[in-house]
């Protein structure tokens, strides 16, 4: 069982937990409320800091054991920066969680009275604490671990009421990110298309309308592209539509579409064995969309939004789609399946068409762990952004910087589009190695009409990107904070 965490706020008076955290800036003594707490140790600041080689740099810590079993931890906050970005506070929360975990404390008071600790900053710090606290350890047999079962954090702040409001609002986004992490981390034997759809259906508790389409309905809609991917699996496909109506009645919704391949063996064009286990994360796009819908509903976002996820499993079997097979998408476009491992675009072709056709959205953004080639291009630092719309692209790039889930724009062009022409059908699903991420994006664009559209290739960022200050899990939940930021900053007004 994972440790539980609770975070509350209180005024400065009466910090009495067995462990107290104060901050000191670079080359400066603790100030304000922290100064009084330090003074109670009876120690000389300059001498003690020098003896501990503590300079107040970000990441440094000075641990003091006091009388009566009280413990004081002084953390460096670095150089004060005017207009420091808010996501610096998220990282600070993550770093604090790391230090806290090492103390094995069950109850802690954190003194946050420095300049710049606005309600929004404190909410980021609280978010960082929770994001770093997350562990996916449900399949680990219980070990004797000296960490307490519960961790209670009290943030001592100037204006607790304002901080509480900001923390609750920001926590809606954290919950969405953690939901996305849980979904991506879950193995495919537990989370098939049917089980994933059931998890999405739970969003109805928050007021999201959830529809689940089964293969017969998808057949009737003409989704031959999506369905051909699922045909080799014993587990049937699902298309899930999540509808949040928080905006004006009848106003066009924002649309988010996700690739949900619960496991990608490659199908008949089977993948090599090395690292194939990672392909349980090939539903990272669908997980981000589901997490985002959770977030929008949990914070009662004043917008209309739809999330559409295509859930399939890509397996080799006697019933699998073959290289050379020609399938017909809902749009009427015929597709020659050259490589059954280029399955994500086949799923998205129908999910995108269906979404724009039914909802006439204000914009349509899809997320997909689509190509290994995007990892070759951008590594794990940026997700690839492809779009037919400059304004939407700039908004997304900004949201990515602010949420610290960064994007890098890649090109679309007629010359790349030509590359996906097929000898036998309208288009083919796989070309050669050159521009692999771009030709995949061009394929998707064939199923997008005049709506502002963006495709985020998150193959390098949805899992296995390494740990960060706010995440130690395999799956960071990439995309939820980014898209929530986009909605908050540009579409709520």
10 Å CB burial of residue 187 (0-12, 13-18, 19+) is: exposed
Cβ-proximal residue to ligand BES, closest one: 372
Q: Work out how close the CB of 208 gets to ligand BES at its nearest, in angstroms, rounded to a whole number.
A: 27
Half-sphere exposure of 246 (CA within 13 A, CB side): 24
In this structure, how many other beta carbons lie within 10 angstroms of the beta carbon of residue 247? 18
Contact between 469 and Zn ion by CB under 5 A: the answer reads no
Instruction: Identify the active-site residue in 345, 428, 446, 488.
Output: 345
Active site residue: 199, 271, 328, 409, which one? 271
Q: For residue 337, give the nearest of 428, 442, 229 by alpha carbon.
A: 428
459 binds, among Mn ion, Zn ion, ligand BES, none (CB under 5 to 8 A by kind): ligand BES
Per-residue mark of binding to Zn ion, 214-253 (x: CB under 5 A): ----------------------------------------
Our CA dihedral for 354, 355, 357, 363, rounded to 10 degrees, sits at -150
Query: Is 99 annotated as catalytic?
Result: no
Q: With contact defined as beta carbons under 8 Å apart, do 93 and 83 qualify? A: no
**Part in contact with ligand BES (CB under 6 A); list of ranges 63-71, 144-152, 364-372, 413-421:** 364-372
Establish if 469 lies at the interface with Mn ion (CB under 5 A).
no
Print the binding letters for residues 306-345 with ligand BES: x by CB under 6 A, - otherwise: ---------------------------------x-xxxx-
Best CA proximity match to 237, nearest among 258, 217, 265: 217
CA triple 35-68-59, angle to 5 deg: 45
Nearest to residue 186, comparing CAs of 284, 266, 110? 284
Scanning 268-420, the segments in alpha helix (DSSP H) are 284-298, 344-359, 373-378, 390-403, 414-418
Annotated active-site residue 259? The verdict is: no
Distance CA 352, CA 388 (A): 14
DSSP annotation of 270 reads P
- Among the listed residues 182, 264, 469, 484, the single contact to ligand BES using CB under 6 A: 264
**Binding residues among 223-242 for ligand BES as defined by CB under 6 A:** none
Q: Is 457 in the site for Zn ion (CB under 5 A)?
A: no
Distance CA 487, CA 48 (A): 48
Which residue, 186 or 264, has its beta carbon nearer to ligand BES?
264
Bridge partners of 209, per DSSP, are 243
Stretch that binds Zn ion, among 107-115, 122-130, 142-150, 255-263 (CB under 5 A): 255-263
* Contact positions with Mn ion (CB under 5 A) in 264-283: 264
Q: From Mn ion, Zn ion, ligand BES, none, which one binds at residue 372 (CB under 5 to 8 Å depending on kind)?
A: ligand BES
Site string for Zn ion, 338-377 (x = CB under 5 A): ------x---------------------------------
Q: Please identify which residue in 91, 175, 195, 264 interacts with Zn ion, judged by CB under 5 A.
A: 264
DSSP, collapsed to helix, strand or coil, labels residue 390 as: helix
Q: Which is nearer to Mn ion, 175 or 336 (CB)?
A: 336
Q: What residues contact residue 106 under an 8 Å CB cut-off, 6+ apart? A: 148, 149, 150, 151, 152
Please report how close the Cβ of residue 282 comes to ligand BES at its closest, in angstroms. Answer: 4
Report the distance separating Cα 256 and Cα 322, nearest Å.
30
Binding mask 450-469 for ligand BES (x = CB under 6 A): ---------x----------
Number of other residues whose CB lies within 10 A of the CB of residue 145: 12
Q: Which residues bind Mn ion (CB under 5 A)?
A: 264, 341, 343
Q: Which residues bind ligand BES (CB under 6 A)?
A: 264, 282, 339, 341-344, 369, 371-373, 430, 436, 459
**Catalytic center residues:** 271, 345
């Amino acid at each position: 069982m994972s440790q539980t965490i609770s975070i509350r706020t209180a005024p400065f008076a009466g910090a009495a937990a067995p462990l107290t955290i104060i901050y000191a800036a670079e080359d400066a003594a603790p100030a304000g409320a922290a100064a009084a707490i330090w003074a109670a140790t009876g120690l000389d600041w300059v001498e003690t800091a020098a003896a501990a080689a503590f300079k107040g740099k970000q990441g440094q810590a000075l641990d003091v054991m006091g009388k009566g079993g009280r413990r004081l931890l002084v953390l460096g906050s670095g150089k004060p920066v005017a207009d420091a970005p808010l996501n610096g506070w998220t990282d600070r929360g993550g770093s604090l969680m790391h230090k806290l975990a090492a103390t094995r404390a069950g109850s802690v008071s954190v003194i946050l009275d420095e300049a710049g600790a606005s309600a929004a900053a404190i909410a980021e710090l609280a978010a960082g604490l929770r994001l770093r606290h997350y562990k996916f350890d449900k399949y680990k047999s219980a070990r004797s671990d000296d960490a307490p079962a519960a961790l209670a954090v009290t943030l001592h702040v100037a204006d607790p009421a304002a901080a509480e409001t900001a923390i609750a609002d920001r926590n809606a986004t954290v919950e969405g990110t953690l939901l996305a992490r849980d979904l991506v981390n879950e193995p495919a034997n537990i989370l098939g298309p049917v089980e994933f759809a059931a998890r999405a259906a739970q969003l109805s508790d928050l007021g999201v309308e959830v529809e689940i389409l089964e293969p017969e309905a998808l057949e009737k809609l003409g989704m031959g592209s999506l369905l051909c991917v699922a045909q080799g699996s014993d587990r049937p496909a699902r298309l899930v539509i999540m509808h949040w109506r928080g905006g004006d009645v009848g106003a066009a919704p924002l649309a988010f579409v996700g690739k949900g391949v619960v496991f990608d063996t490659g199908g008949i064009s089977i993948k090599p064995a090395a690292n194939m286990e990672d392909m349980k994360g090939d539903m990272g796009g669908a997980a981000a969309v589901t997490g985002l819908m959770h977030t929008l509903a949990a914070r009662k976002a004043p917008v209309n939004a739809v999330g559409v996820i295509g859930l399939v499993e890509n397996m080799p079997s006697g019933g699998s789609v073959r290289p050379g097979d020609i399938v017909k998408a809902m749009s009427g476009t015929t597709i020659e399946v050259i490589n059954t491992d280029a399955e994500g675009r086949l799923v998205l072709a129908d999910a995108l068409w269906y979404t724009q056709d039914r909802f006439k959205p204000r914009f349509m953004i899809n997320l997909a762990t689509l190509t290994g080639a995007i990892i070759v291009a951008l590594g794990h630092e940026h997700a690839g952004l492809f779009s037919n719309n400059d304004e939407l692209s700039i908004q997304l790039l900004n949201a990515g910087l602010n949420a610290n889930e960064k994007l890098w724009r890649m090109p679309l062009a007629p010359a790349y589009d030509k590359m996906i022409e097929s000898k036998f059908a309208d288009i083919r699903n796989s070309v050669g190695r050159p521009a692999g991420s771009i030709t995949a994006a061009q394929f998707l664009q064939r199923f997008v009409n005049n709506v502002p559209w963006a495709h985020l290739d998150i193959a390098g960022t949805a899992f296995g990107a390494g740990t960060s200050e706010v995440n130690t899990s395999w799956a960071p939940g990439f995309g939820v904070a980014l898209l929530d930021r986009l909605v908050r900053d540009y579409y709520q007004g």
